[in-house]
Every structure is written in structure tokens, then in C-alpha cells.
Structure 1
Amino acid sequence: MQHIDFELDRDFVELNQLLKLAGLCDSGGAGKQLVASGAVFVDGRVEHRRTAKIRAGQTVAVGHVEIRIRPQ
């Protein structure tokens, strides 16, 4: 599994935007589609809320990629 450490410079980031910022999709809209497909897991559970607030300490997984959210 590939690991990405994402440094959060605010209180939270919306899930669809995180996927874009981490380079897993080309746009926020594509991120929303990815979430809607059921392929995105937050802390080990499928997440269907496209704009879920992701905070430091959480982990987001898509396929073989895991994004660890770190405080800045």
C-alpha cells in the first residue's frame, strides 16, 4: 500500500477536495464521483458524504493508497 502524509493547514478539508489535493483525481467533481462510487474509506469505513469534513488524525483510503492527515 502506498502512503501519503497530508499536512492540514486548517481545521478540516472536505473529502472531495482532499482527494484532488492529494493527486488522486483531477478535480473536486471527480472526487465527488469517486466518493459516490463507494471506493473511499475514512478510518476504515466506507464514506458516502462527498463533502465530509476530514480532520487531523484521520486516515482516508482509496484502493491501494492511504492518506494520513497530519496537523501542520
Structure 2
Amino acid sequence: MKEIPIKDEYIKLDQFLKFVNLVSSGIEAKMIIKDGQVKVNGEVELRRGKKLHDGDQVEFEGNFYCINAHQ
């Protein structure tokens, strides 16, 4: 599992996917989220605006990422 540090209290799911270079655009992020390809904390997440906070885990294409919002 890769730990991903963020500077703010939260990051939205579509922004996160772009931030870690899993997608190249917001349109691509929207499509893969809508298609149910992304899980947050073990559950399929269909909302691209889902706020990810410290400790949340994202799964995409068999890879796991953990949000670290600690400064």
C-alpha cells in the first residue's frame, strides 16, 4: 500500500486520481469512477466528489493507496 501525503484536510476522489497520476484528465477520472472501477475503504465509490480524509484507502486496478493528511 502506498501512502499518499496531502497538504489539505481532504481531497476529492477525482482530484486524487489525477494527483497520483492514475488518470490523465478529469474526464477520464469521471468515467472510471462512474464505471465502478474505484473502491474507497473497500466499497465501490460512484461519486467523483467523494471527500477523502486522513486514513481513507483507495483501491484502483489492484493497487492500494492510503491518504495521509498529517502535516
TM-score (norm 2): 0.90
Match of 1:68 in 2: 66
Residues 9-56 of structure 1: CA deviation (Å, up to 9, x unaligned)? 101111001001111100122111110010100000000111101111
What displacement does 1:4 show?
A: 2.3
Is there any run of 5+ residues in structure 2 with no aligned partner, and where? none
Is there any run of 5+ residues in structure 1 with no aligned partner, and where? none
- Percentage of identical aligned residues: 30
Match of 2:37 in 1: 39
Match of 2:48 in 1: 50
Count of residues in Structure 1 that have an aligned counterpart in Structure 2? 70
After TM superposition, what 4+ stretches of structure 1 lie above 6 angstroms from structure 2? Answer: none
Let me know the Cα RMSD of the aligned residues: 1.0
Aligned equivalents of 2:47, 2:7: Cα separation in 1: 22
Equivalent residues of 1:16, 1:29 under 8 A apart: no
